Amino acid sequence: MLNTIIIEDERPSRESLLQTLARVSADVNLVATITSVQEGISYLGKPHNADLIFSDVQLPDGLSFEIFRHCVVDAPVIFVTAFDEFMMNAFEYNGIDYLLKPVDERELDKALKKYNMLQHHFAGKNDINKLVSPFLQTKKTRLVVKKGIESIALPFDDIVLFFTENKVVYVIDKSGKKYLSDKNLGDLEMELDKNRFFRANRQYIVNINYIRSFKPYEKVKLQIDLATSDVNHAIIVSQETAPAFRKWVYEA
């Protein structure tokens, strides 16, 4: 029996997927339905018995990638969405396949066969790193930024933070130099190494290697102090994000 979780906020889409699953395989058992990012973090942050997860990408309170960024999930994911623009991001978050809505029965059958093949090939079925590693791309080490008319390949190791101001995204390096990025913070957040970079708030993404310390701010928030004097930014972590930030700092 294949224990599955479906992450999908639209009831017609959930029911359609379940009906297609029933036609493709009689051995599927739905153990949970999740309809939002927060619900997903709450459920998947605790022990569960899911073998496989089907997940939409766009949920009412954000992208489902946020669930897998906050939780250590030991089940592979088949992403099911109406858009193909998130395909490359999907394989960074336990993804083993990416299906477009409406789900074609033959494509779903192929996805399940791929899952079974991977499970058979890799002895430890709970070793998610082995299971999804064939689909992971080599991590980039540099980001192309702009300084005037010049395009510069800036090593991620040298980037202290990203911040947005007046809808423009800036990159600050360890020498305090400022560059322009043609990507917004949301896109950068999806592409960056989650062990190294953290979205502190709507304005900032910080590099853990340049955090000297953090301290309480207004009782429930946190203030980050950077390790380089050449970068003078007051970075405040919100009350909602503070627990995830503490976890990230301690576990990175």
pLDDT for the residue numbered 137: 46
- Statement: residue 126 has pLDDT above 80: no
- Statement: residue 134 has pLDDT above 60: no
Distance CA 182, CA 21 (A): 41
Residue-wise pLDDT tens digits, 7-32: 999 999 999 999 999 898 868 889 99
* Average pLDDT over every residue of 101-127: 78
* Average pLDDT over every residue of 214-220: 89
- Statement: residue 82 has pLDDT above 80: yes
Range list for CATH 3.40.50.2300 in the chain: 2-135
* Average pLDDT over every residue of 133-147: 69
Q: What is the mean pLDDT of the chain?
A: 86
Dig out the tokens for 182 from the structure.
């043609």
- The three-point CA angle 8-12-18 to 5° equals 70
* CATH homologous superfamily, domain 142-251: LytTr DNA-binding domain (2.40.50.1020)
Classify the C-alpha dihedral 62-18-127-79 as positive or negative. Answer: negative
| SS3 letters across the chain | CEEEEEECCCHHHHHHHHHHHHHHCCCEEEEEEECCHHHHHHHHCCCCCCCEEEECCEECCEECHHHHHHCCCCCCEEEEECCCCCHHHHCCCCEEEEEECCCCHHHHHHHHHHHHHHHHHCCCCCCHHHHHHHHCCCCCCEEEEEECCEEEEEEHHHEEEEEEECCEEEEEECCCCEEEECCCHHHHHHHCCCCCEEECCCCEEEEHHHEEEEEEECCCEEEEEECCCCCCCCEEECCCCHHHHHHHHHHC
Task: Please name which of 196, 172, 195, 168 lies closest in space to residue 182, comparing C-alpha atoms.
Answer: 168
Range list for CATH 2.40.50.1020 in the chain: 142-251
Distance CA 108, CA 49 (A): 22
Confidence label for 46 from pLDDT (cuts 50, 70 and 90): confident
Task: Please name which of 32, 76, 40 lies closest in space to residue 58, comparing C-alpha atoms.
Answer: 40
Dig out the tokens for 35 from the structure.
């309809």
pLDDT for the residue numbered 79: 92
* Alpha-carbon distances of 243 from 131, 133, 140, 162, 211, rounded to whole Å: 29, 29, 28, 21, 17
Class of the CATH-defined domain 2-135? alpha beta
Whose structure tokens read 């979780």? Answer: 5
Confidence label for 206 from pLDDT (cuts 50, 70 and 90): very high
